[in-house]
Structure 1
Amino acid sequence: MSLCSQRKSKISASRKLMLKSLMVAKAKEELEQELLEKEEEKQKYVSERAPPLSTSSFSLAQLQDLCRELHSKIDVVDEERYDIEAKVMLNTREIKDLSIKVLDLRGKFKRPNLRRVRVSADAILHSLLGSKHKVSMDLRANLKSVKKEDTEKQKRPVEDSDWRKNVEAMSGMEGRKKMFDAAKGSAQ
């Protein structure tokens, strides 16, 4: 008998289920408590940064001064936010570059899983040319139909003549002139 079959779970399935549900309930409680703490911290921060205003006793000039002061504070906060965003973008770019360097040093590259896709010639031309592609590319329709008798007629009978006679006839200047005239005649 193997060691795995000898060891049996000391906890029954119902007990496991009960423990699992208790753990989930505890985690849910802790999550709700964490959310409440974050909300309280947020309220505390806002109350410290922006105390409540009572503008009922302010004159028009005091309200304008208050608005200018608030606008200047908003500008400062926007500048800080922009600086922090720039730092975050710089850090993420550095992290990405460093992770690429680590992969290069390891020598292992993550290759994506490719799948075969059947694409017709029309679809390829349409994707490459877009709306310019109007001609259908049915390649089989453009093929010539060839009958068996036509192919037999095109075959020339093999000459059984002596090749030495042909060499002697083509040797010398007259043979070259014949070849030249034959090439010139077939080109026209």
Structure 2
Amino acid sequence: MSDGKKMTSSRRHHLKSLILSIGAGWIEQEKKDLVAAKAAYMAENCPAPDLSGDQAALMEFCKKLHQAIDKVDEARYDAEAKVKKADAEIDDLKLKVVDLAGVKKPALKKVRMSADAMLKALLGGQHKVTMDLRSNLKQVKKEVKEETTDAGDWRKNVEGKADRKKMFETS
């Protein structure tokens, strides 16, 4: 391989299958070893009970068995309590480490983005509203007042206001 030649795909496939078959053999052997180790442990620590004898002997054997079960149960409960206490301490220590280290805030970058781009980034494909606020405004047209009377002719203006003068006089 050091001479620069590439391995063919069929050779690569053959090597992969060979490695997989070796690994599968190791896993099978490991399973067999575990079964054998378990059988040896059980034979050593848990001998077959002697069930020969009268009823009183069997009752005594059952009492001893129940006492052993109670002891194992107490040991299991104690171990469980120790594990819970250790887990609580670990959680407290993790919190203390976070408090001591502090939370590092990243430097904020200045981003120039339009409102439409921001909504599109936040909402994704759901963005249908445009933020062109000027398009939503009501159109107002300016009215141009027409000057109908000439500013120099004050008599026309007085005659136009004559009806208003009568209105004030009658009240």
Provide TM-score, normalisation by structure 2. Answer: 0.50
TM-score, normalised by the number of residues in structure 1: 0.46
